[in-house]
Structure 1
Amino acid sequence: MSAPAIPTIFSPARRRNRLARAQMRREHADAARFIAEDMIEDTLERLGFLRHEPARALVLGDWTGELAARLSASGAEVAVPDDIDLEAPYSVSGFDLITVTGLLDAVNDLPGALIHLRSALAPGGLVIAHFIGGQSLPALRAAMLAAEPDRPAARIHPLVDPRAAPALLQRAGWKDPVVDTHALTVRYSSLDRLVADLRDSGLGNALAKPAAPLGRAALSRARTAFTARADADGKTAETFEIVTLTGRRSLAGT
Structure 2
Amino acid sequence: MATAASESQIFDRRALRQHRDRAAAGFDGRFDFLTKEIGDRLLDRLEDIRRRFPLALDLGGRTGDLARSANGRGGIETLITADLSPKMIARAPGPRLVADEEWLPIAENSLDLVLSCLSLHWINDLPGALIQANRALKPDGLFLGAIFGGETLQELKASLAAAEIAETGTLVPRASPTVDIRDAGRLMQRAGFALPVIDSDMLTVSYPDVLALMRDLRGMGEANALAGRPRRPWRRSILARAAADYANRFSTPDGRIEARFEVIFLTGWAPDASQPRPMRPGSAKTRLSEALGAVERKLS
Per the TM superposition, whether the score is higher than 0.5 is yes
Relative contact order (alpha carbons < 8 A, sep ≥ 6): 1 or 2 greater? 1
- Per the TM alignment, residue 89 of structure 1 is displaced from its structure 2 partner at its CA by 4.5
Query: Which ranges of structure 2 fall in alignment gaps of 5 or more residues?
Result: 1-5, 83-96, 275-300
Matched with 2:52 is 53
1:36/1:201 contact within 8 Å kept: no
Amino acid paired to 2:135:
S
Superposition CA RMSD, Å: 2.1
For 1:238 and 1:200, how far apart are their aligned partners in 2? 16
Amino acid paired to 1:91:
I
Matched with 1:88 is 103
Instruction: Select which of 100, 105, 129 maps to 1:113.
Output: 129
1:183/1:240 contact within 8 Å kept: yes
Amino acid paired to 1:220:
A
1:35 aligns with 2:61: no
Matched with 1:137 is 153
For 2:211 and 2:44, how far apart are their aligned partners in 1? 33
List per-residue Cα deviations over 1:160-187 (Å, max 9, x = no partner): 1111111111111001111111100111
1:36/1:62 contact within 8 Å kept: no
Matched with 2:266 is 245
For 2:118 and 2:223, how far apart are their aligned partners in 1? 11
List per-residue Cα deviations over 1:18-63 (Å, max 9, x = no partner): 3333332225x5x232210121111111110012321001112222
For 2:265 and 2:218, how far apart are their aligned partners in 1? 21
- Per the TM alignment, residue 252 of structure 1 is displaced from its structure 2 partner at its CA by 5.3
2:35/2:65 contact within 8 Å kept: no
Question: Could you tell which deviates more after superposition, 64-73 or 76-85?
Answer: 64-73
1:142/1:225 contact within 8 Å kept: no
1:16/1:83 contact within 8 Å kept: no
Matched with 1:194 is 213
- Per the TM alignment, residue 73 of structure 1 is displaced from its structure 2 partner at its CA by 4.1
- Per the TM alignment, residue 16 of structure 1 is displaced from its structure 2 partner at its CA by 2.2
1:36/1:64 contact within 8 Å kept: no
| Matched pairs, number | 247
Secondary structure at the aligned position of 1:57 is classed as strand
List per-residue Cα deviations over 1:124-154 (Å, max 9, x = no partner): 1111111111011121012211221121111
2:40/2:69 contact within 8 Å kept: no
1:225 aligns with 2:250: no
Instruction: Select which of 144, 155, 160 maps to 2:174.
Output: 155
2:60/2:101 contact within 8 Å kept: no
For 1:190 and 1:65, how far apart are their aligned partners in 2? 30
Matched with 1:44 is 43
Secondary structure at the aligned position of 2:258 is classed as strand
Query: Which ranges of structure 1 fall in alignment gaps of 5 or more residues?
Result: none
Q: Flag the structure with larger Rg.
A: 2
For 1:182 and 1:92, how far apart are their aligned partners in 2? 33
1:10 aligns with 2:23: no
Question: Could you tell which deviates more after superposition, 184-193 or 74-83?
Answer: 74-83
- Per the TM alignment, residue 243 of structure 1 is displaced from its structure 2 partner at its CA by 0.8
